[in-house]
Structure 1
Amino acid sequence: ELVFGQAGAARDFVYFYIGAFAGGGIVLNGRLYSGPKGNAGALGSMPVPGPDGKPTQLIDVASIAMLEKALSAKGIDGSYLWTSPQEWGDIGPELDEWIVSASRALAYAIVAASSVIDFEAAVIDGWMPLDVRRRLVEAIRQAISGIDAEGLKLPFVREGTVGIHARALGGASLPLSERFLVRPNTTGGA
């Protein structure tokens, strides 16, 4: 999203990519921030309330693997989730239930992240059809409104603009960015 997307004027945002796993990254001052140990942006590991109310990791609630697991429990082959990310067709109540649980978990993750860093935006993207992403973002906005965030100015929650290939493009661009882009704490030429 930072390099290939349309981040607009946002220079500080938290980015969630929902795919086989839930993960993402942190952008501060227009640059990817991974922290001194590489843990910054390990959003899939973020603790959130699970379905039973007990803490669990975001990855165990919001990943598409959880949707596939729910479909399998109903005897439905969900392998098309991985082969047809542009069109899933009519999944039914399992998709609705996944959107509710994933949006709640993502809402908590956004509020928690915002209590540490003052983000301008929270960007949601992933391996899913555009209409599903749109529904997820709207559900996250609704879920955030139900969380006590007194004292916080929460970021605007919006859809990503890169889509299903964001993870691959981002991963492929890291070596180039590391080698050729000027680092924030360096002086002089490239």
Structure 2
Amino acid sequence: YLECPCKWFSLRRLRLSAPDAGFGPLEMGSFSHGVLKSFYEHFIEMGNAKVAPGNLEEARALMRETFARHLAFQPELKRKANPLLPLTAFERAEAHGLERRLVSYLDREAALLPGFSPAFFELDFGTREPFAYGGFELRGSVDRIDVNGRGQAVVIDYKGSLSPDYALSSASPAATAGGAMLPHKVQALV
């Protein structure tokens, strides 16, 4: 109680075990994925096949607008949707930094994979029937799939940072089906 009467009241009287909303990697990731999906859908609706040097300024403006729109409706989301709610000055600065990173991401996009255009966003797999892989049944979603005119596809995985666990060369200490060793994170293989 002496440390913080509000904390005491919340924990002892209201018996709250966790805050209603977090502000961490999970919330930032969910928010970023939603912003990117919405951005690309609107960008394509505007008649753009992909972010390119010729439409980069238009893309940046749309990204800022999309970010602001998504941030504005975060308080309406249910907790299971991992809303991003910047409540403190530090969190608002972090949200602003995330906006800058998403806008600057478009510079990379403009030079990435000429001839390929975004086609699918947050594409679910295994929802109706699990996807069998390495002796396990998987469910999930693919961040984005870009395709070209020849029917080739590239899977785009949004990551803020990558640990060595994602490296194809780092084997898990646990043997899997047939004694094969797999990386700790199998996304790249799948």
Settle same-fold status: TM greater than 0.5: no
* Structure (1/2) with the larger helix percentage: 2
Structure with the greater alpha carbon radius of gyration: 2
Q: TM-score, normalised by structure 1?
A: 0.28
Q: TM-score, normalised by structure 2?
A: 0.28
